């Protein structure tokens, strides 16, 4: 896979180039579906457009979990509305080191839809400000670009279903906190615990103290290894951050269990482990 991270200084240079990237503001707050657009309206990177975790990067919650993937048709409509096409690079960012929605947008565009030039702003909005660059306030205007005609060819092999997780022998890697993984606390979902046989790799462990990704060498040494890996979390969002970490490390990418824990526990016949 091509380079998946971009530094703030590199992004600033790219914005002055002949083919500047489409920038997507992926900020979100769980439990507050209007927060992302509100934050974008307050201030955002120059030229960025908001993309919404709940409305653009997920289908409505239900049997598929809290953030099930949208249908390919629905996501194709999103990328066309935002003017995204393979010939123009895309940069995604949030304000949580990519953990919440930027990595999810990266996975959906690059791994699922097959866009060849998607990168995550390493360190996110904070890194942009720390590099001395400014945010802008466009008021309430969202000037959408010309729509694209891109028809992505989705790679359905990049994800797995609950039945595949149940019957498969792949290593399951859980991106939630160790406390939630062990079942000691579950502030969001109705059942605590984890998928039996899974290992815990909190997505926060992919970042250094400055909120940027650890080096490829460090990540390569830390990330769980197996012939095949499935990434999951609470609702298929922070799991994408772990997949991104494998990409940064230059390792084969895990497949995503998008429904994750919030879907797994909807069927009482599926086993649950604690501890």
User: CA-to-CA distance for 114 and 22, rounded, in angstroms?
Assistant: 16
Positive or negative: CA dihedral 112, 114, 116, 117:
negative
| Three-state secondary structure call for residue 171 | strand
User: CA-to-CA distance for 30 and 80, rounded, in angstroms?
Assistant: 26
Question: Catalytic annotation on 240?
Answer: no
Closest Cα partner for 29 from 204, 261, 237, 242? 237
Kindly write down the DSSP assignment for every residue of 32-71, as one continuous string. Answer: BTTHHHHHHHH-B-TTEEE--TTTTSSPPSBTTBSSPPPP
Give the chain's largest Cα–Cα span. 55
Residue of 26, 111, 200, 233 marked active site: 233
Residues known to be catalytic:
233
């Amino acid at each position: 896979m091509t380079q998946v991270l971009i530094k703030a200084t590199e992004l600033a240079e790219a914005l002055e180039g002949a083919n500047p990237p489409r920038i997507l503001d992926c900020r979100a707050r769980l439990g507050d579906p209007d927060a992302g657009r509100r934050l974008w309206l307050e201030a955002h990177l120059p030229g960025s457009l908001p993309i919404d975790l709940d409305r653009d990067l997920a289908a409505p919650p239900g049997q598929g979990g809290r953030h099930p993937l949208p249908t390919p048709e629905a996501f194709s409509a999103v990328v066309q509305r935002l003017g995204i096409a393979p010939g123009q690079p895309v940069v995604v960012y949030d304000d949580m080191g990519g953990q919440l929605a930027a990595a999810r947008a990266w996975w959906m565009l690059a791994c699922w839809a097959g866009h060849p030039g998607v990168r995550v702003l390493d360190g996110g909005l904070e890194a942009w400000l720390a590099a001395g660059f400014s945010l802008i306030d466009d008021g309430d205007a969202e000037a959408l670009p010309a729509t694209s005609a891109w028809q992505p060819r989705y790679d359905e092999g990049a994800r797995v279903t609950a039945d595949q997780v149940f019957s498969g022998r792949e290593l399951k890697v859980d991106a939630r906190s160790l406390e939630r993984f062990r079942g000691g606390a579950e502030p969001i979902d109705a059942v605590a615990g984890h998928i039996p046989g899974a290992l815990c790799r909190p997505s926060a462990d992919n970042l250094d103290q400055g909120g940027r990704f650890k080096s490829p060498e460090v990540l390569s040494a830390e990330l769980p290894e197996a012939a095949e890996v499935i990434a999951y979390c609470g609702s298929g969002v922070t799991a994408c951050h772990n997949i991104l970490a494998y990409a940064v490390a230059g390792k084969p990418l895990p497949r995503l269990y998008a429904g994750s824990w919030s879907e797994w526990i909807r069927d009482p016949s599926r086993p649950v482990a604690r501890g």
